[in-house]
């Protein structure tokens, strides 16, 4: 199987936003190229090779990552990608670990919201996870939107480096400057 390979399962919950956009682009593009659709894709099927994500076949897919309709199709694959993005972001299975089974029984359930640091992906993920297949984003749209998201992510101002912060706000070394109150001995 995938022994010795780094999979999405290994990094779930520790992904940066850029990696999530890249995951969406790489997997959706690979599926488009191969014209290969599934009822579901689970984290063990997503292998990480340097800075790219690839799919590897697997006989049994975790049911939590299979679309509500349970049939292999583009829309089912899109649903599964949404579930993978949620899992990669948080490290948790959607709908309390029940996946599409819960969504099937509760069609009006609120769709997951990604954690604040990944909130820019929430609209895409929710479009992937729509209960009705007709309301889901297509793989083509997903790739286009994910590329836009990745570009915006890369353009966002990164936090200032420590050197720049120190230059703008020098650290004082004088004890008097760091502790302005007078120190007195209370044992006298």
Is the whole model's pTM more than 0.85, yes or no? Answer: no
Residue 98 has pLDDT above 70, yes or no: yes
- Tallying the residues shown for the chain, one arrives at 188
d(CA 79, CA 65): 8
The tens digit of pLDDT for each residue in 153-186 reads 998 855 444 445 555 655 555 555 555 666 677 6
**How much is the mean pLDDT over the chain?**
84
Counting residues of the chain whose pLDDT is more than 70, the rounded percentage is 81
Q: What is the pLDDT of residues 10-43, one digit of tens each?
A: 999 999 999 999 999 999 999 999 888 888 899 9
Note the pLDDT of residue 11: 94
């Amino acid at each position: 199987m995938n022994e010795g390979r780094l999979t999405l399962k290994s990094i779930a919950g520790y992904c940066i936003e850029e990696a999530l956009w890249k995951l969406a682009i790489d997997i959706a593009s690979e599926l488009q190229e191969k014209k290969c659709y599934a009822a579901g894709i689970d984290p063990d099927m997503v292998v990480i090779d340097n800075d790219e994500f690839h799919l590897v076949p697997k006989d049994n897919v975790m049911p939590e990552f299979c679309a509500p309709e349970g049939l292999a199709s583009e829309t089912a694959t899109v649903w599964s990608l949404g579930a993978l993005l949620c899992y990669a972001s948080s490290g948790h299975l959607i709908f309390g670990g029940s996946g599409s089974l819960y969504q099937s029984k509760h069609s009006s359930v609120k769709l997951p919201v990604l954690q604040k640091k990944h909130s820019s992906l929430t609209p895409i993920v929710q479009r992937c996870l729509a209960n009705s297949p007709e309301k889901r984003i297509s793989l083509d749209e997903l790739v286009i939107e994910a590329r836009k998201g990745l570009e915006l992510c890369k353009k966002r101002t990164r936090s200032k480096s420590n050197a720049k912060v120190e230059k703008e706000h020098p650290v004082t070394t004088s004890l008097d400057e760091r502790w302005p109150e007078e120190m007195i001995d209370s044992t006298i």
